[in-house]
Chain A
Amino acid sequence: MKRKLRVLIAKPGLDGHDRGAKVVAHALKDAGIEVIYTGLRQTPLQIVNTAIQEDVDVIGLSILSGAHMRLFPEIMKLLKEKKTAGILVFAGGVIPEDDIPKLNEIGIQHVFTPGTPTDEVVSFLKNKFPDRV
């Protein structure tokens, strides 16, 4: 029996809606993944503590508000401080292409730009965890 993949879908910042995050969550569920969902307006500390309590393998950050360059580094820093080695982080939402290299640099493995089909998120995870999804 393989250990089920657990993914946290988290919404940092002050976004007013979470349709996109929910669509991704459903796609992952349909791929056999256990998805933990945080709801809106999460602080970096809430997200990191949740990831620890839920012992997730992956965090998916969804953001629309434009605050990613402020919030994502904070999240990555907290993950490092709390020594959560091995959690893979990806992001999606409204994130300009120009910001992506910077985000990769701080440890965000992949950034999905608006309009990415959910299949792509699933195959990204399948690739990273070949025997778990």
Chain B
Amino acid sequence: MDLRSNVDTLIDRFKDGDKMALAKAMTLVENGASELVDRIKSEKNMKSESEPWIIGITGAPGVGKSTLIDKLIDPFSTDNKRVFVFAVDPTSKLSGGAILGDRVRMQRYATNDNVFIRSVATRGSNGGVSYHLIDMIDLALAFGYDIVIVETVGAGQIDLDIFDISDTTVLVLMPEQGDGIQTYKAGMTEMADIFVINKADKRGADKMVEQLRVMMSTRAVRKWQSPILKVISTENVGIDILVKELKRHRRYLLSSKKIKDRERLRKLMKVKGNMLAKFEASLSKTLEGLSNEELDSLNRHEMYIRILKNFLDGKEGEDECQ
């Protein structure tokens, strides 16, 4: 029997803590079945004593994000926390396929009951994360994971980005990285809660710290001053301090009530992501369905009306999950 086509059984098994049911629910939701999240949340008693914590780890390919997360899982899971990792990688624009290889660096946890790793392709979205990622995060939390870590290549436009999704975002850099921090959009360094200079075993780490400090000094004084940490992920150096700083940021969010702002932003982004996915699918269908004659004869306005009408009728681009 395919659990994916038997939603009642799927939900029952999800409530019983069956990981296979969680994985299959993730697939459904990733393909647009957002209602499933609402159903599960309404039926399952959510653990209310602990606030969720969503940590974003972002940075260019190769800076060591996956290696860093591998080292981060340990201190969190020995804290008796259950950790869920989403490893997001880009979908090839050309083929629509993807190679999702982040978990190579974390495979020692494949047999750890308190750790669940799921690879996610960005698919249609251009914001560096998948449209349905927030729904998937909600599933992980509903299942009982305490900490969700999201790895993403933060190359997306600031459209639907990791900063909107995470409570705490870590920007990972490394020495001798291209043109250094200048390559990052101002927004990106503006928004990072913690900077990690990874591969601090390589030359140029101190210079990079210095560059960042200079940059930070021009930014308005805030309650939270984003720390700059040197880390060597491969040798587990600096991880303890990073964990301390992560927890300090978390306390700051909780005490300043900023955590509620982040939650609100996340809810907004979820609606936005769902809508964008549905609209994009509908739009493509409508465009494909236009004849050459229509393309020449319809004016802009008529075209828009056609697109919106098809979208509202919901006939086109309906998400199909089987």
Residue ranges of A at the interface with B (Cβ–Cβ < 8 Å)? 1-4, 6, 25-26, 28-39, 42-43, 45-46, 49-50, 52-55, 82-86
- For B277, the closest partner residue in chain A by CB is A1
- For B1, the closest partner residue in chain A by CB is A85
Known: A42-B107, A54-B118. A1 touches B320 (CB 8 A): yes
Known: A1-B281, A36-B119, A55-B27. A50 touches B103 (CB 8 A): yes
A45 touching B320 by the CB < 8 A rule? no
Known: A45-B111, A55-B24. A30 touches B95 (CB 8 A): yes
Residue ranges of B at the interface with A (Cβ–Cβ < 8 Å)? 1-2, 19-20, 23-24, 26-27, 31-32, 91-92, 94-101, 103-105, 107, 110-111, 116-119, 121, 123, 281, 317, 319-322
Q: Which residues of B contact A43 (CB under 8 A)?
A: 111
Q: Which residues of A contact B20 (CB under 8 A)?
A: 52, 82-84
Contact check: which of B31, B111, B119, B123 meets A49 at CB < 8 Å? B111
> Which of the listed residues A6, A53, A84, A85 has the most CB atoms from chain B within 10 Å of its own CB?
A53
B23 touching A34 by the CB < 8 A rule? no
B32 touching A1 by the CB < 8 A rule? yes
Tell me, rounded to whole Å, the shortest Cβ–Cβ distance linking A130 to chain B. Answer: 14
Tell me, rounded to whole Å, the shortest Cβ–Cβ distance linking A120 to chain B. Answer: 17
Contact check: which of A6, A30, A46 meets B110 at CB < 8 Å? A46
Q: Which residues of A contact B101 (CB under 8 A)?
A: 36-37, 39
> Which of the listed residues A2, A4, A42 has the most CB atoms from chain B within 10 Å of its own CB?
A4
